[in-house]
């Protein structure tokens, strides 16, 4: 690829994913990723601090969830605001054209403890962002925490279902369904 082509972060992520699948995470270098993407090592480091970060969205999901919670109707309760945000995430980020990449990415993450650890930290950040967004909407502290944690669990369930190769349903409807199931499970006494 020529260096002038757009979307360097996307090209680097695609190249990294291919190389991680081919050679393993541990056996892949930043230089190899940059070369596969048709870029330089310095371009890689302009976008990512290390090779571990290349498969993570640099806060895009968190930002979209915060935006979705903020733009939910004012009458929406905390869980409904989270549901609206998850559905918006399906329209803007977890789109059909990203499904295959996301499934492949998840397989690589699952195979490497260092990447699983980074993913767990990103999910904590995601939940924290939702708590803060719900608090800004006026949700009491405990309510915001519970709604965000239930929303995070629903996100995980929906994501697992969405990347399943036998599934063709969109992320938004899967997230709504997962949130309804989580709500029902939480209501059990």
54-103 pLDDT, tens per residue?
A: 998 777 888 999 999 999 999 999 999 999 999 999 999 999 999 999 99
Shared domain for 72 and 45, answered yes or no, is no
The C-alpha angle 64, 112, 167, rounded to 5 degrees, equals 55
Shared domain for 19 and 41, answered yes or no, is yes
Shared domain for 86 and 36, answered yes or no, is no
Shared domain for 30 and 83, answered yes or no, is no
Q: Which residues contact 17 (CB under 8 A, 6 or more apart)?
A: 55, 101, 104, 105, 108
Q: Is residue 94 part of a domain?
A: yes
Q: How many Cβ atoms from other residues are within 10 Å of residue 44's Cβ?
A: 24
pTM of the model: 0.88
CATH of the domain at 88: 1.10.357.10
Residue 21 has pLDDT above 80, yes or no: yes
Q: What is the mean pLDDT of the chain?
A: 92
Shared domain for 81 and 154, answered yes or no, is yes
Shared domain for 27 and 84, answered yes or no, is no
Structural domain count of the chain = 2
Rounded Cα distance between 59 and 55, Å, is 12
Average pLDDT of the segment spanning 149-157 = 95
Shared domain for 69 and 99, answered yes or no, is yes
Shared domain for 48 and 100, answered yes or no, is no
Shared domain for 96 and 123, answered yes or no, is yes
| CA 131 from centroid of its chain's CA atoms | 17
Shared domain for 18 and 89, answered yes or no, is no
DSSP letter (8 states) at residue 125: H
Rounded Cα distance between 127 and 147, Å, is 9
**Confidence band (pLDDT; 50, 70, 90) for 4?**
low
Domain span holding position 126: 56-186
% of the chain at pLDDT higher than 70: 97
Rounded Cα distance between 142 and 123, Å, is 19
Query: Is 41 in contact with 34 (CB distance < 8 Å)?
Result: yes
Residue 115 has pLDDT above 80, yes or no: yes
DSSP letter (8 states) at residue 20: H
């Amino acid at each position: 690829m020529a260096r002038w082509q757009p979307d360097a972060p996307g090209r680097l992520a695609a190249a990294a994913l291919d190389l991680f699948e081919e050679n393993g995470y541990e056996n892949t270098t930043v230089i190899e990723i940059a070369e596969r993407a048709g870029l330089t090592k310095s371009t890689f480091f302009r976008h990512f601090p290390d090779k571990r970060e290349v498969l993570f969205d640099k806060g895009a999901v968190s930002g979209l969830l915060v935006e979705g919670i903020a733009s939910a109707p004012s009458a929406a309760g905390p869980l409904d605001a989270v549901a609206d945000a998850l559905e918006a995430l399906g329209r803007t980020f977890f789109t059909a054209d990203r499904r295959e990449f996301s499934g492949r990415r998840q397989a690589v993450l699952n195979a490497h403890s260092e990447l699983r650890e980074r993913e767990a930290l990103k999910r904590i950040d995601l939940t924290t962002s939702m708590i803060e967004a719900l608090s800004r909407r006026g949700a009491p502290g405990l309510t915001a925490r519970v709604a965000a944690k239930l929303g995070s669990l629903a996100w995980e369930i929906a994501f697992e279902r969405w990347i399943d190769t036998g599934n063709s349903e969109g992320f938004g409807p899967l997230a709504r369904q997962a949130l309804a199931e989580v709500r029902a499970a939480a209501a059990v006494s």
